[in-house]
């Protein structure tokens, strides 16, 4: 450990991760440090990662990006949630809609009132009370902080975008703020013999690039954190059964829907992402259950427009880098681990790691306590997301293929098993400290994947039957009326 000030940061990699970090570091710390980004045109980027979750709106706002300019430049659309089709059983679907559902009550979530209503014979769906869901299926959108005339929250949204265009957009931003870009392929890494810290990177032609801190954004290659420092992945493949993806763009279809589709298939699932200029498609599958040829057939036979390229295979390992930060290397993006794209969390993990890095940015030398705290936070964050993703696989009622039977039979982490049992028996679900996903997110996926809670919170009994009926009816009227007042999604994207 050296006590010298960190004056220079080198980001290795120019995918979504590299340019997101470069942009945020330049915006916040650009006056205190110099930032260089090295990327290789020869290697290129992973080229997927088109669906996001609501905190991305804050990321763009923190940079001061203009939303219209961003949507135009990245061919973006609005995302209000993810529709899960055929996950519980063939032919059934539900949505993990962002935002809140119903109305907040002190000490007791809305869904307890809904559960009591159901117990008393009510037939409404939980999603009747989700503004995001109703707006999504009616293809409507406008930013809305609150439902008019109430204190009920409005719409919570994220984006679909072309990942390559987003990286280019951020590159222009970061270069304007002084980030120095070097194109080249790193072929060697020099370590300090005393402490094993990375001293410099070497490029072809003998060029060396030294820095005090390196951010490894080399994607699945994990050149610094794994290949150089030897920090391996803690594998989560026993719970996350898929290990390959095949991606292909296709001609877009209209109208542009404001949600991602996730369609369960015989040995995995398929995504469909509407962009202004095309659709993003891909299939995530288990190589134990499907050959590439089977995946290809399943993908290509189900496109809703002409394929615009040959499908590309992306093998991956799910898991978490044991130390996201080791010595003077912080790994961010795919180099730090991967959870598969089911809940579109990878770009969010880049954002939160970038924020964490800035909050923990070393001043005089890199302190082990600082590194340990950074690693502890990232471990907890990833484990919570991991559990949420496992939930989708575990709680299925499909018995039609080995893949799904195996998912249903698998042992799951006790943290998740406890959560499921609590919800099943009591209807209660608690958001853990640092959990990215809200109670409403857990409730929707657990209900959507077939758990009907046996009970509800006694606070729901404090309303008379008539009051409960009135509550449900008034919320539904409010949400339906609000959705009708919103413009069509495409009106928000007038340039597309
Ligand atoms: C199938 C799939 C679907 C996904 N879908 C989503 C999604 O919907 N939503 C979401 O949030 N995330 C998604 N992700 C994750 C998302 O794609 C990544 O988190 C994101 O693109 C960041 O990637 P990256 O920048 O870490 O890596 P990459 O894009 O692979 O970039 C790596 C960079 O490192 C450079 N590099 C590598 N080696 C060298 C070297 N030796 N010298 C110089 N440069 C080098 C490369 O040139 C490149 O610039 C998905 C991932 C996969 C695999």
Ligand 1 center to residue 47 CA distance, Å? Answer: 7
Q: Is 79 a catalytic residue?
A: yes
Question: How far apart, in whole angstroms, are the C-alpha atoms of residue 158 and residue 485?
Answer: 20
Mutate to test the pocket of ligand 1, among 47, 76, 219, 283 (most ligand atoms within 8 A of CB): 219
Question: How far apart, in whole angstroms, are the C-alpha atoms of residue 73 and residue 275?
Answer: 12
Average pLDDT over residues 287-295: 98
Average pLDDT over residues 186-204: 96
209 lines ligand 1 (CB under 6 A): no
Percentage of the chain lying above the pLDDT 90 cut: 95
Computed over every residue of the chain, the mean pLDDT equals 96
List, for residues 46-91, the tens digit of each pLDDT value. 989 899 999 999 999 999 999 999 999 999 999 999 999 999 999 9
Question: How far apart, in whole angstroms, are the C-alpha atoms of residue 55 and residue 57?
Answer: 5
Ligand 1 center to residue 226 CA distance, Å? Answer: 16
Average pLDDT over residues 141-155: 96
List, for residues 409-456, the tens digit of each pLDDT value. 999 999 999 999 999 999 999 998 788 999 999 999 999 999 989 999
Ligand 1 center to residue 16 CA distance, Å? Answer: 6
459 lines ligand 1 (CB under 6 A): no
Handedness of CA 260, 379, 386, 244 (dihedral sign): positive
Percentage of the chain lying above the pLDDT 70 cut: 100
Which of 213-217, 251-255, 276-280, 377-381 comes out lowest in average pLDDT? 251-255
Q: Are strands 180-183 and 186-191 parallel, antiparallel or unpaired?
A: unpaired
Rounded to two decimals, what is the model's pTM?
A: 0.97
> Which residue of the set 79, 103, 394, 419 is catalytic?
79
Average pLDDT over residues 223-235: 98
257 pLDDT tier (thresholds 50, 70, 90): very high
Ligand 1 center to residue 449 CA distance, Å? Answer: 30
Two structure tokens written together for 4: 């010298």
Average pLDDT over residues 29-52: 96
Res. 270: pLDDT tops 90: yes
Residues 6+ apart with CB under 8 A from 125: none
Task: Classify the phi-psi angles of 178: left when phi > 0, otherwise alpha if psi is within -120 to 50, otherwise beta.
Answer: left
Looking at residue 2, its pLDDT comes to 57
Q: Where are the beta strands (DSSP E) in 275-322?
A: 279-285, 312-315, 319-321
Ligand 1 center to residue 18 CA distance, Å? Answer: 9
Res. 204: pLDDT tops 90: no
Mutate to test the pocket of ligand 1, among 184, 248, 334 (most ligand atoms within 8 A of CB): 334
217 lines ligand 1 (CB under 6 A): yes
Looking at residue 429, its pLDDT comes to 95
Which residue has the CA at smallest separation from atom 41 of ligand 1?
A: 186
Looking at residue 432, its pLDDT comes to 84
Two structure tokens written together for 381: 């964050």
Query: What is the position in ligand 1's atom list of the atom closest to the CA of 184?
Result: 43
DSSP string, 153-181: B----EEE--HHHHHHHHHHHHHHTT-EE
344 lines ligand 1 (CB under 6 A): yes
Looking at residue 495, its pLDDT comes to 74
List, for residues 364-422, the tens digit of each pLDDT value. 899 999 999 999 999 999 999 999 999 999 999 999 999 999 999 999 999 999 999 99
Q: Whose structure tokens read 């009747």?
A: 128
């Amino acid at each position: 450990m050296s006590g010298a000030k960190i004056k220079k940061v080198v980001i290795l990699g120019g995918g979504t991760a590299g340019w997101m970090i470069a942009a945020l570091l330049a915006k916040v710390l650009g006056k205190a440090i110099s930032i260089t980004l090295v990327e290789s045109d020869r290697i290129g980027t992973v080229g997927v990662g088109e669906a996001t979750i609501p905190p991305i709106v804050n990321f763009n706002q923190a940079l001061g990006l203009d939303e219209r300019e961003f949507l135009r430049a990245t061919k973006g659309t609005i995302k209000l949630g993810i529709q899960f089709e055929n996950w519980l059983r063939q032919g059934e679907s539900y949505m993990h809609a962002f935002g809140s559902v119903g109305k907040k009550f002190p000490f007791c979530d809305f869904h307890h009132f809904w559960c009591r209503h159901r117990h008393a014979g009510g037939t409404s769906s939980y999603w009747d009370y989700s503004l995001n869901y109703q707006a999504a299926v009616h293809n409507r959108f406008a930013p809305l902080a609150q439902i008019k005339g109430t204190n009920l929250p409005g719409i919570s949204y994220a984006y679909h975008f072309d990942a390559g265009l987003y990286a280019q957009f951020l590159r222009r931003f970061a270069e304007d703020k002084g980030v120095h870009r070097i194109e080249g392929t790193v072929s060697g890494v020099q370590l300090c013999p005393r402490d094993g810290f990375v001293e410099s990177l070497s490029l072809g032609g003998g060029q060396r690039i030294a820095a005090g801190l390196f951010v490894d954004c080399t994607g699945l290659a994990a050149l610094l954190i794994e290949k150089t420092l030897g920090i391996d992945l803690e594998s989560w493949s026993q719970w996350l059964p898929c290990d390959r993806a095949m991606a292909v763009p296709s001609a877009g279809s209209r109208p542009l829907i404001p949600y991602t589709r996730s369609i369960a298939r015989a040995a995995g699932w398929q995504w469909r992402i509407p962009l202004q200029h095309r659709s993003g498609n891909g299939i995530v599958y288990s190589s134990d259950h499907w050959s590439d040829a089977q995946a290809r057939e399943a993908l290509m036979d189900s496109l809703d427009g002409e394929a615009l390229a040959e499908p590309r295979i992306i093998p991956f390992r799910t898991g978490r880098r044991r130390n996201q930060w080791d010595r003077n290397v912080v790994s961010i993006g795919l180099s730090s681990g991967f959870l598969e794209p089911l809940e579109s969390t990878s770009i969010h993990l880049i954002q939160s790691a970038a924020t964490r890095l800035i909050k923990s940015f070393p001043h005089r030398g890199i302190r082990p306590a600082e590194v340990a705290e950074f690693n502890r936070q990232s471990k907890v964050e990833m484990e919570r997301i991991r559990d949420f993703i496992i939930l989708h696989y575990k709680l299925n009622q499909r018995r039609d293929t080995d893949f799904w039977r195996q998912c249903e039979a698998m042992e799951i982490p006790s943290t998740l098993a406890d959560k499921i049992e609590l919800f099943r028996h009591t209807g209660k679900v608690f958001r853990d400290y640092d959990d990215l996903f809200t109670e409403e997110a857990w409730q929707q996926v657990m209900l959507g994947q077939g758990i009907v809670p046996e009970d509800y919170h006694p606070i729901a009994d404090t309303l008379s039957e008539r009051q409960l009926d009135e509550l449900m009816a008034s919320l539904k009227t409010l949400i339906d009326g609000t959705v009708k007042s919103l413009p069509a999604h495409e009106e928000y994207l007038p340039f597309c």
